[in-house]
Amino acid sequence: MMISSTNILCAFVAVTLLLLTHSVAIDIDVAIDKIDVAVPKCDLYEGSWVFDESYPLYSSNICPFIIQQFNCIGNGRPDLQYQKYRWQPNSCSLRWDGVNFVKRLRGKRIMFVGDSLSMNQWQSLACMVHSANPTASYLPPKTIGLLSTIIFPDLNVTLMYLRNAVIVDIVTENGSRVLKLDSVAASSRQWLQADILIFDTWHWWLYTGRKQTWDLIRVGNVTVNDMDRFEAYEKALTTWGRWVDQNVNSTRINIFFQGVSPDHWNGTTWGMPEVQRCGGEQNPLKEPVEDSKSTTKADIILKKVLLGMKKKVHLLDIITLSQFRVDGHPSIYGNLRHRGMDCTHWCLPGVPDAWNQLVYATLLAP
């Protein structure tokens, strides 16, 4: 494909801005190759949420794969309008064709690796495939250890979810859980089973106390009780990236990384300090909001690590488009008793459906 000098200049400027913003030392030629120099093609992540009467793409009452935590309608959420919004890029159309999707992926295995937001996206994709191919047989989710699998035998498509909230290894030694920031030896054993890998990590990195999933942190031969969590997060991502560069055949395996999914815990950030977090919100915001400086910092670190990798990884840059969707969380409708508040996960149908449409559009791109 011929590339115009204007496009090369645009790409060079884009890379330079990234380098200045994130202070990343990286080979310019490699960086330009990573950022598509076909600048005029559609930016899938610049757009808005539009109301669409044809939505949702599936019904939570019919899809057999949604756990209660994400089944907001089943838990009694009275408003339905939040299901009617579709992500619309500014300069192209983003549409889902579930029949074409499975034709392209026949014989393929898709694996989501990460925390419960990966599960959110995995169950969304299973519902999207099921709704588009309603007569196709399926096997109910089967879980062995940390790996859950949904198989569509007629379609010859397998969807997997491997729970690993931190991507790197956590091992038990002398009764203590040790977070090994420089190892994915145990975690990666199952990754190469897949043809498409979609990774995610962030939300568990800041937890302390009872929610913290480790007792000690180890890097090389050095073991500590704790360290700066952003530094730990970057070290883990760097370890993961090194494994990808050394072990993945990118002509066979497509790799995606789900960007940082935003929370909506603080109504002050969207101009409504009186609201009970995300509870009661029924429409997208007019502008995206930054609920947490930590989320933004984590997103910058992720992009820095991806930019420094040799192998190509498709970033699902979902942070900004998801920041609009204060209405999309379960809030009190993550259970039948309406107890607690969830402003982290997403109702299904909902926002993760758009993430999966972005995966589909990326796979279609030349």
Could you list the active site residues?
116, 342, 345
Please tell me the distance from the alpha carbon of residue 12 to that of residue 272, in angstroms, as a whole number: 41
Amino acid at 287: E
Angle, helices 229-247/293-307, rounded to nearest 10 degrees: 30
Give, as one character, the DSSP assignment of residue 133.
S
Structure-block tokens of residue 209: 């106390």
Structure-block tokens of residue 245: 């560069």
Residue 365 buriedness (CB in 10 A; 0-12 / 13-18 / 19+): exposed
- Helix or strand (DSSP H, E) at 121: helix 116-132
- The gap from C-alpha 181 to its chain's centroid, in whole angstroms, comes to 21
Where does the chain show beta strands of DSSP type E?
47-51, 85-89, 109-114, 139-144, 147-152, 157-163, 169-173, 176-180, 196-199, 216-219, 222-224, 254-258, 314-316
Amino acid at 261: S
Angle, helices 351-364/116-132, rounded to nearest 10 degrees: 70
Give, as one character, the DSSP assignment of residue 30.
H
Q: Is the dihedral of CA 299, 301, 303, 305 positive or negative?
A: negative
Amino acid at 305: V
Q: Is the dihedral of CA 6, 10, 13, 15 positive or negative?
A: negative
